[in-house]
């Protein structure tokens, strides 16, 4: 099956810093999504991005499908950005999830 690897596993930053999170996947996919899981465990949909680039405020994402990776950029980090960021991919609709990047933003 498809393997999904996220890096780094943990990231601690000062408020205001920028960060790049990476998601590598092992096979062609027709869906790639990024999620933020807040400290209460709730999942927040960030991006649906099987290819190309999207931006939403301080967040943006790029997927290079031919090279099987996606990047999530967070600029000017805020403490509310803390949590776990998940990448999930699918070829036949069932999402396969990475282990996540745990992000801590210190004030």
- Binding site residues, another protein, CB under 8 A: 30-31, 33, 35, 41-45, 48, 50, 86, 88, 90, 93-100
Of 16 and 52, CB closest to another protein:
52
Shortest distance, CB of residue 40 to another protein, whole angstroms? 8
CB 34 within 8 A of CB 50: no
Shortest distance, CB of residue 66 to another protein, whole angstroms? 18
Of 14 and 92, CB closest to another protein:
92
| Structure tokens belonging to residue 71 | 């990047």
Of 25 and 86, CB closest to another protein:
86
Of 16 and 99, CB closest to another protein:
99
CB 95 within 8 A of CB 31: yes
Q: What 3-state class would DSSP assign to 74?
A: strand
Shortest distance, CB of residue 78 to another protein, whole angstroms? 20
Direct distance between the N- and C-terminal alpha carbons of the chain, in angstroms, rounded to an integer: 40
Shortest distance, CB of residue 45 to another protein, whole angstroms? 6
Helix (H) or strand (E) holding 20: strand 19-25
59/52 Cα distance (integer angstroms): 14
């Amino acid at each position: 099956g498809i393997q999904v690897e996220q890096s780094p596993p943990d990231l601690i930053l000062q408020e205001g810093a920028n960060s790049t999170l990476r998601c590598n996947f092992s096979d062609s996919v027709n869906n790639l999504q990024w999620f933020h899981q807040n400290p209460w465990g709730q999942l927040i949909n960030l991006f649906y991005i099987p290819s190309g680039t999207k931006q939403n405020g301080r967040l943006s994402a790029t997927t290079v499908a031919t090279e099987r990776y996606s990047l999530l950029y967070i600029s000017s980090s805020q403490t509310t950005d803390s949590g776990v960021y998940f990448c999930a991919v699918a070829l036949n609709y069932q999402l396969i999830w990475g282990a996540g990047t745990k992000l801590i933003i210190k004030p």
